A and B are shown apart, each in its own frame.
Chain A
Amino acid sequence: MSVYLLRRLIQAVGVVLAMSLIVFIGVFAIGDPVEILISPDADQMERERAIKALGLDLPLWQQYAIFLGKALQGDLGRSFVFNEPALTLILQRMPATLELAFAATFGAILIGLPLGLYAGLRPNSVGSKAIMAGSILGFSLPTFWVGLMLIMVFAVQLGWLPSTGRGETVTILGMRWSFLTADGISHLIMPALNLALFKISLVIRLTRAGVRETMLMDYVKFARAKGLSPFRVTFVHVFKNILIPVVTVTGLEFGSTIAFSVVTESIFAWPGMGKLIIDSINVLDRPVIVAYLMIVVLMFITINLIVDLTYSVLDPRVRLEGK
């Protein structure tokens, strides 16, 4: 087990290194932040002073070396725009994004699993066909359009839900959370639903496919031959088997939920990391972009590890040696 974890850790370091290099070169290739940051009226002296202050006068490889050296000490650079450490900026926004992503993921499981189970158990009923047709819409409608429609219907026309911001928040452990106040929850519902729509469809389809496949297995027939109640056959024998793919995929999807939240956060003016990264890309705020992507990579690596560990809990056949 510890050997396994160590190997994963070394792989993770390799991925982070490769990632930082690609991002660094990529952002360098996009454009020169100096053009955007420094006012056109500035004279040559001022320009050079600013470039020097930002460390942009050095060759790229030196900039990268300095960045790496500082990164090892936990310093991912200062934002050109806010003149604050990039890491602090991102961590400030992170709870908002995580809250949204968790709400969307749990929503997707709470809605998707029962619907998928129903569709799998009664594949020919009208309800199942409606669910499956709906899941195609969930897959194919663009997130931004659904978001705008949600605002149109529930905020503008019906006036049930607020359309922007986080609402009232409660501070716990130095971070602000919306889900603990009624006002915050009313602000959370629409963006979370918007973000969850794709995942709901995904969970429905995965669950349905899993149920239909598992129902044909000999062990389900054997469970019925033992005289077990249909409830136990479905919710113990079938359910535990379909959880394996569902957990794997929703877990891995969690990373892309955070990435996708860029669109949803922009539409609902949700003050999270996604909004920050879009703004930073617009002004080529290189340290923030690099720091954000590094953090996202770290998050993906952590999520993958957690998924692998959960997987081995659910499926005894892949249980890691030496428990």
Chain B
Amino acid sequence: MSAPTLEVRNLCTHFFTRAGVVKAVDDVSFTVDRGKVLGLVGESGSGKTVTGFSIMGLVDAPGRIVSGSILFQGKDLATLSEEEMRHLRGNRIAMIFQDPMMTLNPVLRIDTQMIETVLAHEKVSEDEARQRSRDALGMVGIPSPDERLKSYPHQFSGGMRQRVAIAIALLHRPELIVADEPTTALDVTIQGQILAEVQKLCATTGTAMIWITHDLSVVAGLADDIAVMYAGKVVEYGDVGEVLDKPLHPYTHGLIGSVPSRNKRGEPLRQIPGMTPSLLNLPEGCAFRARCPRAQADCVQRPELREWLPARLARCHHPHREEAAAA
């Protein structure tokens, strides 16, 4: 078996602010194989976006990667210079952003924004770059790409803009795509179309993908593996079907329980009590302790990510082990 496309090991990205150190990403590890999709799930502020930016080398001051490694095809991205990283970005690792209304520069035409991406990494003629851009637009299902190339972003709908952003990400057939909630801002039918296309692309080109989202239903349909993040840490990691069916960590349990469609009509909606803790002063031990129905005295000890069942990891002293094993 060949090396995985991406292996993140004990990644820590901290922000050094005046108010203190914000441990946005604190000891995160996961692996993504060729052609696979990893769903990175968590609430707002759980560190999933910062994890994505860390992989891209786009963490801005006052933040920086303080420790850990990001092995991309065996090469550690955390040690590369900005210039070396720039040659990988948009070329072999691409990113799709959350809000399609904001990712395209409003004052530049689509062709400008696509051609510059081609030319940033390959010495080809402008005509060839235009050709490639047009093909990429066609590939993501944009009708009459020749005309659309000459348009400005505001002439596109949100869904179309996200397709353009995806087309830009695909221009150099990257080995890895980091998708940061790319369908959250879109309506359900467009979301479905884009998910289907992304899935097809991954399967045909062998591109590995990290799909960052808070929407469990998207992950269920798209991802192979899932990593659940809470307060900067991965709290549960494993095969997507098994994790969603029989979650080990009480937080994953609560997260799945909070999906409204699982409720019976008339019953009050279920929710996880309390709020996510401030990353500035995390409580000692398990960060989820204060909200956890299974918390006990020993939860003040910091739990480690542990393999409770084969290929099933959870960061918890009292996981739902029996239910998971029995089912």
Q: CB within 8 Å of B: which residues of A?
A: 217-219, 221-229, 232, 236-237, 240-241, 244, 314-317
Tell me whether B11 is interfacial, beta carbon within 8 Å: no
Complex A-B, nearest 9 residue pairs according to Cβ-Cβ distance, in ascending order: A227-B90, A226-B90, A218-B102, A227-B89, A316-B152, A219-B105, A225-B95, A222-B103, A226-B117
Cβ of B165 within 8 Å of any chain A Cβ, yes or no, is yes
A221: chain B residues within 8 A (beta carbon): 58, 97
What are 27 pairs between A and B in contact, CB < 8 Å?
A217-B102, A218-B97, A218-B99, A218-B103, A222-B95, A222-B104, A225-B95, A226-B90, A226-B116, A226-B117, A226-B168, A227-B88, A227-B89, A227-B121, A228-B86, A228-B117, A228-B120, A229-B86, A232-B116, A236-B112, A237-B108, A240-B107, A240-B108, A241-B106, A244-B107, A316-B106, A316-B152
A228 contact set on B, CB distance < 8 A: 86, 90, 116-117, 120
Q: Digit string of B20-60 for contact with A (CB within 8 Å is 1, else 0)?
A: 00000000000000000000000000000000000010100
How distant is the Cα of A34 from the Cα of B223 in the complex, in angstroms? 92
- B87 in contact (CB, < 8 A): yes
Q: In angstroms, how far is the closest chain B Cβ from the Cβ of A221?
A: 6
Check A227–B106 contact: CB distance below 8 A: no
Contacts A224-B58, A225-B89, A228-B90; A219 near B102 (Cβ below 8 A):
yes
Contacts of B154 in A (CB 8 A): 316-317
A251 vs B92: C-alpha distance when bound (angstroms): 44
Residues 102-126 of B, flagged 1 when their CB comes within 8 A of A and 0 if not, give 1111111100100011001100000
A227 to B120 alpha-carbon distance, docked (Å):
7
Measured between beta carbons, the chain A residues less than 8 angstroms from B168 are: 226
B105 to A237, Cβ gap below 8 A? yes
Q: Does B69 contact A (CB under 8 A)?
A: no
Contacts of B102 in A (CB 8 A): 217-219
By beta carbon, the residue of chain B nearest A244 is B107
Most B Cβ at <10 Å: residue of A217, A222, A316: A222
Known: A225-B94, A228-B90, A229-B120. A314 touches B107 (CB 8 A): yes
Which residues of A are found within 8 Å of B87, using beta-carbon distances?
A: 227
Given contacts A218-B102, A218-B103, 12 further A-B contacts (CB under 8 A): A219-B103, A219-B105, A221-B58, A224-B58, A224-B89, A226-B117, A227-B120, A228-B90, A241-B107, A315-B106, A315-B107, A316-B107
- B152 neighbours in A (Cβ, 8 Å): 316-317
Cross-chain contact A236 with B108 (CB below 8 angstroms)? yes
Residues B106 and A219 in contact, CB atoms below 8 Å apart? yes
Say yes or no: is B91 at the interface (Cβ < 8 Å to chain A).
yes
Give the residues in chain A near B90, CB-CB below 8 Å.
225-228
Which residues of B sit under 8 angstroms from A225, Cβ to Cβ? 56, 58, 89-90, 94-95, 97
How many Å lie between the Cα of A227 and that of B95 in the bound state? 10
Residues from chain B with Cβ under 8 Å of A314 in the complex: 107
Q: How far is the CA of A223 from the CA of B152 in the complex (A)?
A: 16
Is the pair A236, B116 in contact by a Cβ cutoff of 8 Å?
Answer: yes
A240 to B109, CA, bound (A): 12
* Most chain A beta-carbon neighbours within 10 Å: one of B56, B88, B99, B116: B116
